[in-house]
Amino acid sequence: MLKIAVLVSGGGTNLQALIDAQSGGKLCGGEIALVVASNGSAYALERAKKAGIPTEVMLRRSFSSQADYDAALIGLLEKNGIGLIVLAGFMTIISAQVVSRFRNRIINIHPSLIPSFCGEGYYGLRVHEEALKRGVRVTGATVHFVNEVCDGGPIILQKAVDVLPGDTPRSLQERVMKQAEWKLLPEAVALFCENRLRVEDGRVTIKEVQS
Ligand code: GRF
C-alpha cells in the first residue's frame, strides 16, 4: 500500500473528496495514512478524525527557522513511511528541501487553469477575483506536481469550468470546487497510486491501462 499524507489548512473539502474516493474503493493501491494541518483550528482535522485518520498539527511559528521546520516535516513524513504528499489547500510554504526529498511525489491542486491566475499571491478567493476582473469565459482547476516554482510544476490534470453572468468570486469558487477540484484531485491521486504517471522534460504522460 502506498501511504498518502494530505496537508491542509482550512475547510478540507478536497480532503473529504479524497476520503470519499478511498471509501468508494477508488484509491486502489493507496491509503490516506496521515493528515497534517498547519493550524489547530482547521476543520479538515475534524474530517480526518471522523474518518479515523491520524492527524498532526505543525505550526510554522513553533520552529525558529525554515530549515528546522523542513527537517521536522520531512522527519514526520519519513517516520510514517509516506510515499505521496497531497497539498489540499495547505498554506505553509513547501521549501526546496522538501521538494527535492519528495521529487515528483508532491501533488497540489490549484483553482485555475494554470498558467492563468497562478503563482505568488494567487490563492483562495483572489484567484477567482482576478479571473472575473479579466473577464475570462472559462476557468477551472489544475492538479500538478510541485517543484521549486510556485504553481510551476508538471501538470497532471486540468478541467475547465464556465464563468457565468452574475458570478461573484464566491459563486465561482464554489462551482470550480464542485465541478472540477473534487473530481480532479481523487482522479490524479488514483493515477499516481496505480503508478500511471511519468514525468519527462517537465511534462506528465499518463500510461493507458492494458485491456
Ligand atoms: C481549494 O480551492 C484548493 O484549490 C486551494 O485551496 C482550497 C482548499 O479548500 N489550493 P479546502 O480546504 O479543500 O476546502
Q: Is the CB of 11 under 6 A from ligand 1?
A: yes
Q: Is the CB of 88 under 6 A from ligand 1?
A: yes
**Length of the chain, please?**
211
Specify the residue with its C-alpha closest to ligand 1, atom 3.
89
**10-residue stretch averages of pLDDT, the chain, 211 residues long:** 97 98 96 98 98 98 97 98 98 95 98 98 97 98 97 98 98 98 98 98 94 72
Residue 140, helix vs strand vs coil? strand
Q: For position 209, what pLDDT does the model report?
A: 87
Q: Is the CB of 12 under 6 A from ligand 1?
A: yes
Q: Write down the H helix ranges in 62-181.
A: 66-79, 96-101, 125-134, 169-176
Of the residues 47, 110, 128, 175, only one is catalytic, namely: 110
pLDDT in tens, 98-145: 999 999 999 999 999 999 999 999 999 999 999 999 999 999 999 999
Q: Is the CB of 181 under 6 A from ligand 1?
A: yes
Instruction: Specify the residue for cell string 510554522.
Output: 60
Expressed in angstroms and rounded, the spacing between residue 31 Cα and the centre of ligand 1 is 20
Cβ pair 32, 18 in contact under 8 A? yes
Is-catalytic flag, 110? yes
Q: Where are the beta strands (DSSP E) in 165-202?
A: 197-200
Expressed in angstroms and rounded, the spacing between residue 14 Cα and the centre of ligand 1 is 6
Expressed in angstroms and rounded, the spacing between residue 53 Cα and the centre of ligand 1 is 19
pLDDT in tens, 157-171: 999 999 999 999 999
- Buried b or exposed e, range 156-177, using 16+ CB within 10 angstroms: bbbbebebeeebebeebbebbb
Q: How far apart are CA 65 and CA 5, in angstroms?
A: 23
Taking alpha carbons only, the member of 161, 169, 61, 182 closest to residue 124 is: 169
Residue 55, helix vs strand vs coil? strand
